[in-house]
Every structure is written in C-alpha cells, then in structure tokens.
Structure 1
Amino acid sequence: MRKLTVSPILKSLVAVAIFLCSIGPVAAQEKPRVVAVNYPLQYFADRLLGDSADVIFPVPADVDPSYWRPSIADISMIQSADLILLNGAGFATWVDRVSLPRTRLVNTSMALKDRFIVTESITHSHGDGGEHAHEGLASYLWLDPMLALAQAEAIATAVVARNLAPEAEVADRLAALKSDLERLDAKARTALSGAQDVAIIATHPRYQYFARRYALSITTLEWEAGAMPTFAELAELERRAGETEARILIWEAAPPEEALVAAQSLGLHSVIFPPLAQEEPDIAFDAALDRAITAISNAVSQISGG
C-alpha cells in the first residue's frame, strides 16, 4: 500500500488551524471594557450595556473617588479600556495628571457646562489624603436626577457610536433608566415642597445640585465623613444653626451615636444622605437617592408636626 505523505506546508497550516480553533472560544468570550470614574457613571453604564460589556469602577470602596490616586497597574488597565467615562466639572483630579487615549474618553457633562455651579475655594484635608481645595465647580451633578439623565444620555450616545452594544437595546434601556430618574425627580419635587422653607446644614459641600433642583437652603460645613465631630466643630455647628435657624442636619455618612445625640441637643433632625460617589451596600443608585429624599421629607414632617 502506498504511504500517504503530507507536505511540511500543509502540516503547518493544519497546526495553525488547530491553534486558532483552540483559542477561538476564549477570544469570543472577551467583552469590551468600560471604566467609570465614579459609581453613578458605572451604574448608568451597567444599565445601558447589560451583558454587552464589563463596566469597571476601580476605586476602592473606602476611598473618596474625587481624590483617588491610581496605581501604575490601575492606570495601565484604564488606558486599555474601550471607553473611559469621565464626570467632568473637576471631579477625579487624577485624570488631569495621567495620559489617557483621547479617542476613548467621554466627558459625560460636556453638554452641561452652562449649568455648572461655581464654588468657593476652601482648603482642608481628609484623613491621610493630604490637603486639597473645594474650588472651582461643584461636581456631584448626579444628585440632580435630570443632570444624571443627561449624563446617562451621553453614555448611551458614546456606547452606540463605538458599537459596544446594539443600538435598539441601548435605546430601550435608556428609556427605562429615563423613566426611573424622572419618577425620582417627580417624587422629590412633591416630597420636598415643604422643605423649601426649612433651613438645612450639611456636613460636607456635596449637595449643591440637589439643593438647586429642589430650591433648598443648605449651608455647608467641612467635616470628616462618618467621624465624631470635635468640640470646635460642634461649637461651629451651634453657631451656624443659630444664624440660619436650621432644623435639619445632613450627614454624608452615619456618624457615631454620640454625634447624633449632640445634633439633637441643638434642635437638629439628623438625616443620613450619602452623596453616592461610591456605591452604598446592598442598594442601587436610584433606590439610595429615593431613600435620602424620603428621609428629608420625613424630617420636615416631624418638624412641622412638632
């Protein structure tokens, strides 16, 4: 019987074909990667993309994303992303110090510049993060649900333009997200209508867009989130409460029980209102904002009833 011979070229082609078949399933499982500089943008992108992409928010849970300092590994990961979602308005100061691929950057507040709120310059420090200043622009845009919707729309446009998800699916998901945010806004306008005549103090300057949207009067302090205020800070709170006749104190994060008692002794109703740059445990963005709106509304009701 004649022996069948195979040429070296054919052997090489077969080997290449086998290799390609072996890596095909792995390559097919790879998804586009989207990186967001804060939790709200991650939440919006997740809602819009579904399973079409991996959406990453790389900031550790115990770090303020406004002042996070990415490692070299973090920067490398971000630079390789298919889409990088920026908040704009001066949020995430590291962005200005890192070389990022311009074609993959999306500033989600680009269309909102005429609605930015200018803030005063106040220099202070947070724990070991060193000194920094709250200056230039208020950046927590997403606390106004309608500005949050504008950011979500910018993400949807970028996702479709880069073909990261089917256009029809993105449109349907955006419509659902829009409905949720508009419902939240409608609830806030009703629930907080009685709060417009109640002076409020906040322990940190995060709530400018929320206050403007619902015509609230909010005076701000510069307290460490979740920490027990010092005697000097409590004295400052007492002075501010006397000047403004404030009845509600918004805490950025839940403080020790003694702090709540101290606020109550000054006639202040405490409300925990996380500004949501980081995800709250076991609750989504819209539900967390809904909870904060309800808490303020309940405090106003207690004041009115008293």
Structure 2
Amino acid sequence: MKRLSLLVLPPLLVLTGCAAFTDDTVGLDNGVQVAAAFYPLQYVASRVAGDHAEVENLTAPGGEPHDLELTPRETADVAQADLVVYEGGFQPSVDDAVDENAGGDTLDVADVVDLVPFREHGVDSDELDPHFWQDPLLLADVGDAVADRLSKVDPDHADDYAANAADLRADLEGLDKDYTAGLADCQRSTVVVSHDAFGYLQKYGITMEAILGLSPDSEPTPADLARLQRVIEDDGVTTVFSESLVSPKTAEQLASDMGVRSEVLDPIEGLSDKTADEDYLSLMRSNLAALEEANGC
C-alpha cells in the first residue's frame, strides 16, 4: 500500500504547484511514485521500477541539468514522491528541495558510487566529477541501489525490482565490454570535447581534453584555446566534439580554425528534441561509434 506523508508546503507551492505525478494511479499496481533528478537517474529508475511505479524527471527534456531551478510543480513532485533519486552536490536546487520538502525516502547516488576527481591537464583537482554515468558499471551500481530502496517502499514487488536491476546490469555490463573492445586499438587516444563531462570514459584508454570546465556555461580563455590548438596539431586530432544541450559555437569555431571535423558527443545529461526517441544505451553506443571513427579504432 502506498505510504502517505503529512507535510506542510510553502504557500506559493500550495497555490500554484501542479505536480506532474498523476492523481489517478489506476493503471499502476500500487501507485508508487519516484522523482528522478535528471535523465540518467530517470532511465535507471524506470528500468528498475518497470510497471510498478510512475517515474518523473525533475529536469525537463531539453533542459541543462547543471542549471536546474525547480518550479513549484517540480518541488511538489519531490514532496509527493515515495522515493527521490538525486545526486547530491550536482543540482543545488534539488538538494534544497530534498532537505526541505521530501516526504518519502531519498537516495543520494553520490553515496552509492565513488566519484573521481576532476582531472585538469592530467592533474587531480579538489573538485569531484559528477558525470559518473559515463561509466556503465557505476550506473549499474545505482540500479542495484534503486532496487533496494524500492523494495523497502514496496516490498510486495521486491523480486521484480531485483530482477529488473539484474537485467539492467546485464545490459550495462555488455555496454562496458563493447567500449573496452571498441577503444582498445586506436590510432589516436586524445579526444577534444566541449565541456568536461566525459572524464569517466578515460578508463577505456582515451584522454579527454575539454574546451570548457565542468560547467558548460563557462568561457574558454585565449590561453585555453591556444593550448587546445597545440594538442589538436601535436596529437593528430581529427574531430572536435560539441554536445546536444548547449551551444556548439565554440567547438565548431575551434574545429574550423584547425581544419578538422565538428561532430556531436552526447553527455547524456538529458534528452532533446533530436534524441527524444533514444535512450541511454542507444546514445552511449552512438558515442562509441563516433569515438571509434574520430580516433581510428
């Protein structure tokens, strides 16, 4: 049976909040409701929940999760959810909503996976890289944790959640093997990307050089661009990668200046109009094909 939580919401939320969760849950076995902070977490929660829960993404399609500011409706989703899945420190507005409004269980995936330091020019910084979902095996760990939490919220379907998480892990382990094999024998190992969202892919033997830092809204300095021009020239880089949710202008200009191709490498932070029919697995495989072509694998 679905748990009900009594909580007091801010007046603005009561007056204007219109939660995305449906009031009529007849089509669900038990009406379990899950709020996921951004797309990779929504994907995992949906795969694990199957038909037993309604999963809402707090970051709207096409939205940049780094910049998320929750609306009253989305804050109501956090308050109403039986489980909120989020990454602490990645989206401050979600952290605040969880602290202030969450009425059900919460899962901070930063407590599940071991985040690695952001590396700048080969040196570890004091800042942790939040883009762990670029490593399929870490995302599989999140799937197991979601199954465990959903089993506590809804014990009647615990076996289904465990089975769904196992199926998800099998898919992600297969994807990991494809990346290992696909990037094993490449002519080049350097990859120039728009912002530093791909550091976890370096486990496969490639080196990421980012135009921007961890935030896609930052601006490169002339010195940054000059260094990247040298990297492209010295390492024989054939492609500069932009991405789907932010402007490709800087990456395209760098590629044009250096006479190399400009392509898209999707950080899979969210879906866009162009990728609405894709999912995490298909986008990761598209990224692998693009990396193989760019690096002569």
Q: Judge same fold: TM > 0.5, yes or no.
A: yes
1:185 maps onto 2:176 in alignment: yes
Measured on the aligned residues, the alpha-carbon RMSD in Å equals: 3.4
1:95 aligns to what?
A: 94
1:47 maps onto 2:47 in alignment: yes
1:154 aligned counterpart, secondary structure: helix
Residue 235 (structure 1) shift: 5.5
Change (3 A) 1:197 1:28: closer
**Is the contact made by 1:34 and 1:53 (CA closer than 8 Å) also made in structure 2?**
yes
Give distance in 2, aligned partners of 1:196 and 1:148.
29
1:104 aligns to what?
A: 105
Further displaced range: 275-284 or 139-148: 275-284
Change (3 A) 1:206 1:166: same
Give distance in 1, aligned partners of 2:247 and 2:196.
17
Change (3 A) 1:257 1:108: closer
Return 5+ residue gaps in structure 2 as ranges.
Answer: 1-23
1:218 maps onto 2:231 in alignment: no
**1:30-54 alpha-carbon deviations (Å, 9 max, x no partner):** 6221000011111111111111111
Residue 162 (structure 1) shift: 1.2
1:297 aligns to what?
A: 292
1:272 aligns to what?
A: 264
Give distance in 1, aligned partners of 2:25 and 2:38.
29
1:282 aligned counterpart, secondary structure: coil
Give distance in 2, aligned partners of 1:148 and 1:27.
28
TM-score, length of structure 1 as denominator length: 0.73
**1:220-241 alpha-carbon deviations (Å, 9 max, x no partner):** 1128969xx9999865642443
Instruction: Spell out the pairing of 1:122-201 with structure 2 (5 A cutoff).
Output: 136-163=127-154, 166-195=157-186, 197-201=188-192
Residue 198 (structure 1) shift: 2.1
Residue 93 (structure 1) shift: 1.7
Q: Which amino acid aligns with 1:275?
A: P
Q: Which amino acid aligns with 2:132?
A: L
**Is the contact made by 1:250 and 1:271 (CA closer than 8 Å) also made in structure 2?**
yes
Give distance in 2, aligned partners of 1:180 and 1:249.
29
Return 5+ residue gaps in structure 1 as ranges.
Answer: 1-25, 122-133
2:65 aligned counterpart, secondary structure: coil
1:116 aligned counterpart, secondary structure: coil
1:78 maps onto 2:78 in alignment: yes
Counting matched residue pairs gives 262
Give distance in 1, aligned partners of 2:152 and 2:183.
38
Residue 248 (structure 1) shift: 3.6
Change (3 A) 1:93 1:35: same
Residue 64 (structure 1) shift: 1.0
Q: Which amino acid aligns with 1:94?
A: S
Instruction: Spell out the pairing of 1:204-215 with structure 2 (5 A cutoff).
Output: 204-211=195-202, 213-215=203-205
1:277 aligned counterpart, secondary structure: coil
Give distance in 2, aligned partners of 1:79 and 1:86.
14
**Is the contact made by 1:198 and 1:247 (CA closer than 8 Å) also made in structure 2?**
no
Residue 172 (structure 1) shift: 2.1
Residue 27 (structure 1) shift: 6.8
Residue 73 (structure 1) shift: 2.9
TM-score, length of structure 2 as denominator length: 0.75
**Is the contact made by 2:81 and 2:102 (CA closer than 8 Å) also made in structure 1?**
no
